[in-house]
Amino acid sequence: MEDVKIPRATAKRLPLYYRYLVFLNDEGKEKVSSTELSEAVQVDSASIRRDFSYFGALGKRGYGYDVKRLLDFFKKILNQDTLTNVALVGVGNMGHALLNYNFKRTNNIRISAAFDVNAEITGKIMNGVPVYHTEDLKKQLSEQQIEIAILAVPKDQAQSTADELIEAGIKGIMNFTPIRISTPSNVRVQNVDLATELQTLIYFLEQDNQ
């Protein structure tokens, strides 16, 4: 199982499945069909069956999927037993919203350190998270063994901060800046570009209207 190579699109749907299974399990439900799953997570049932097939036959025809078994399975895949600490770099408006964002909801993720240059907030604890000065980035990331960072700095500092993060041993960056940062091939970047998301939505609406 550890060697399964799954498509990126499938990987992106795993947390969705997981979250809904947590919900079903909490409700005491024991079985779920791909149709029900499909409606809840808004993914067509053919894709769900194909996604699940990458991990071996987990469901029985006419019976559906066993909620507890699926849940244990996804928990393992998604490493939900281990808390993942991430760093937040840049505590402006967006950074502040991210500090308040509940990543722990069903995912075992926690922002455990934040960094900024603003003297009004460095050295303080915000939302339970210590805000360090960016000059302590390398030291803190190394001491806290943090490998994942959320980049929410102003765009003119995006690349230089990313470079520092990589030098400090960061292996994954969730990039909130509009800049496409360049990184070595062993560093993963997940871009969250809100203007692009909105533009895509508008584009599809215009297509619908034609």
Check if the beta carbon of residue 14 is closer than 8 Å to that of residue 37: no
Check if the beta carbon of residue 22 is closer than 8 Å to that of residue 106: yes
Site map 71..100 versus a second copy, x via CB under 8 A: ------xxx----x-x-----xxx-xxx-x
Q: Which of 69, 76, 124, 188 binds a second copy (CB under 8 A)?
A: 188
Site map 41..70 versus a second copy, x via CB under 8 A: xx----------------------------
CB of residue 65 to a second copy, shortest distance in Å:
18
Residue 144 interacts with a second copy (CB under 8 A)? no
Residue 194 interacts with a second copy (CB under 8 A)? yes
Of the pair 3, 120, the CB lying nearest a second copy is at 3
Residues that bind a second copy (CB under 8 A): 2-3, 5, 8, 11-12, 14-16, 19, 39-42, 77-79, 84, 86, 92-94, 96-98, 100-103, 105-107, 109, 147-148, 150, 171-172, 174, 178, 180, 182, 186, 188-208, 210
Binding residue ranges for NAD(+): 90-95
Binding residue ranges: 90-95
